Structure 1
Amino acid sequence: MVKVVLATHNAHKVDELRRILGEALEGIELVTYEGPEPVEDGDTFEANALIKARAAAAYTGLPAIADDSGIAVAALDGAPGIHSARYAGTRDDGDNLRLLLENLGDATDRRATFVCAAALVVPPPVGAVGPDGPAEAAESDESVELAEWPGVVLTAPAGSGGFGYDPVFRPDDADRSAAELTVAEKDATSHRSQAFRALAPRIAALASAE
């Protein structure tokens, strides 16, 4: 089995990604990450996903997958965007939801998009050198995929499933909030599902490369 570390401390994401990736994990053991969290100082979802995956790969020496996800609200000029998880300053989902609804107020334009960047970083083999010889370090193999899930922000939370901003987000392809969708319904169309399914062939290839 090839070990691949999932660069998150969020148990919800671990469960979700194991479901989403499914058969792509054949021959792969997806392990949780116990290392330090890097500073996510990128200015895009893609940059922050790569920061997390690079940090986990460097800490463990294993291939690492990570994502950076959030909600971008049109009437708030794309906020909270890459700051979604820390929007209220507490990293508490309830606090984030309340602040989002407070800032949006009674705006009639409630269009929003869930965004996910999924990244894979495969560190070079131990002892590998760069193309110009031993003085140059070999580079990691990096891939990133971006996906979007458009919808609207509701005026009040609905549903008890999911996590994050799910209770106040109604996807365009559903008549309920993301928190009211079944696990199968959400996994079929969500931003995270789209991004990681696009990345899945490269994750699956790790097993065949052994």
Structure 2
Amino acid sequence: MKIYLATGNENKKREVSQLFPEHTIVIPKDEGIAFDPEETGSTFYENSLIKAKALWEIVHSPVLADDSGICADALDGAPGIFSSRYAGPEFMRGRPDGKKISQSEQNSFLIQQITDSISAGKSQTRAAHYTCSMVLYMGGDRLFVVQETMEGQIISRAEDARGSGGFGYDPIFYLPELKKTAAELTAAQKNEISHRGKASRLLKKIADEILSAEEKNA
């Protein structure tokens, strides 16, 4: 069955397609749909639901949406829902002009900000986690929600970033038990332990049952 994924991110489409192989995953731009809803929520869940509802109003078909980000303990959970817009300590929620900085700049800023927090005695940890809130929206009040995390830590030096897989903060997100960054994992390894992978598997159980029933009754 076709499921619309409420994102413009090709990397997310690739990951979700791998996690939902029995379904056809389509993002708005695949069908020429203009889609850029304002994410005004204060939590990952609220933002994922905003995106899901916005796309549903256009396609009136099952929509999968997720909101995810990285949360550093030393920064009280920041950048969190602002991970994609984060532009350093002066612009924790993004630049006023809305322009995003490069991912390498974001990585460097985050590492330095955590280091500064530790040096100032405000924190003693580089622990961090990714969070993913995922919604399957079926219209009206019909929706299913799963939220999961992947635990790790932020490396201490930007020059130690490693790996060419994944995306976002993955090259600086270190997994002590595997002795690798998230960007060094294969797609299969990452899907097994990642926040999005764990959330997807749980939601897939629901989707397979619900969507199969929808198809039979169509």
TM-score, scaled to structure 1: 0.85
How far did 1:41 drift? 0.9
Q: Distance in 2 between matches of 1:7 and 1:209?
A: 20
Q: Distance in 2 between matches of 1:56 and 1:174?
A: 38
- Aligned with residue 192 of structure 1, among 185, 191, 196: 196
Matching residue of 1:209: 214
Matching residue of 2:182: 178
Q: Distance in 2 between matches of 1:91 and 1:62?
A: 34
Displaced runs of 4+ in structure 1, greater than 6 A? none
The structure-2 alpha-carbon separation of the partners of 1:203 and 1:173, relative to structure 1 and needing over 3 Å to count, comes to farther
Summarize deviations over 1:3-61 as a string: whole Å, max 9, x none. Answer: 21010000000000111223xx3xx3221113321111111111111111111111111
Matching residue of 2:129: 113
2:17, 2:24 within 8 Å by CA — same for their partners in 1? Answer: no
Matching residue of 2:170: 166
How far did 1:208 drift? 3.0
Matching residue of 2:148: 147
Any unmatched runs of 5+ in structure 1? 124-138
- Aligned with residue 93 of structure 1, among 103, 109, 116: 103
Matching residue of 1:131: none
Between Structure 1 and Structure 2, which shows a larger proportion of strand residues?
1
The structure-2 alpha-carbon separation of the partners of 1:173 and 1:198, relative to structure 1 and needing over 3 Å to count, comes to farther
The structure-2 alpha-carbon separation of the partners of 1:173 and 1:191, relative to structure 1 and needing over 3 Å to count, comes to farther
- Could you say what secondary structure the match of 1:30 adopts? strand
Any unmatched runs of 5+ in structure 2? 88-93, 95-99, 119-123
Q: Distance in 1 between matches of 2:185 and 2:64?
A: 26
Moved more, 101-110 or 152-161: 101-110
How far did 1:102 drift? 2.1
Q: Distance in 2 between matches of 1:77 and 1:191?
A: 19
Letter paired with 2:112? E
Give the number of the structure with larger relative contact order, counting CA–CA contacts within 8 Å between residues 6 or more apart: 1
Summarize deviations over 1:123-170 as a string: whole Å, max 9, x none. Answer: 2xxxxxxxxxxxxxxx24111100011111012311121100100101
Between Structure 1 and Structure 2, which shows a larger proportion of helix residues?
2
What value does the CA root-mean-square deviation take over the aligned residues?
A: 1.5
- Could you say what secondary structure the match of 1:163 adopts? coil
The structure-2 alpha-carbon separation of the partners of 1:203 and 1:35, relative to structure 1 and needing over 3 Å to count, comes to farther
- Could you say what secondary structure the match of 2:167 adopts? coil
Letter paired with 1:116? C
1:35, 1:56 within 8 Å by CA — same for their partners in 2? Answer: no
1:187, 1:193 within 8 Å by CA — same for their partners in 2? Answer: yes
Q: Distance in 2 between matches of 1:161 and 1:35?
A: 28
How far did 1:172 drift? 4.4
TM-score, scaled to structure 2: 0.82
Q: Distance in 1 between matches of 2:211 and 2:176?
A: 35
Identity of aligned residues (%): 38
Matching residue of 1:31: 26
Q: Distance in 2 between matches of 1:57 and 1:140?
A: 12
Q: How does 1:4-83 map to 2 (within 5 A)?
A: 4-22=3-21, 25=22, 28-33=23-28, 34-83=33-82
Count of paired positions: 190
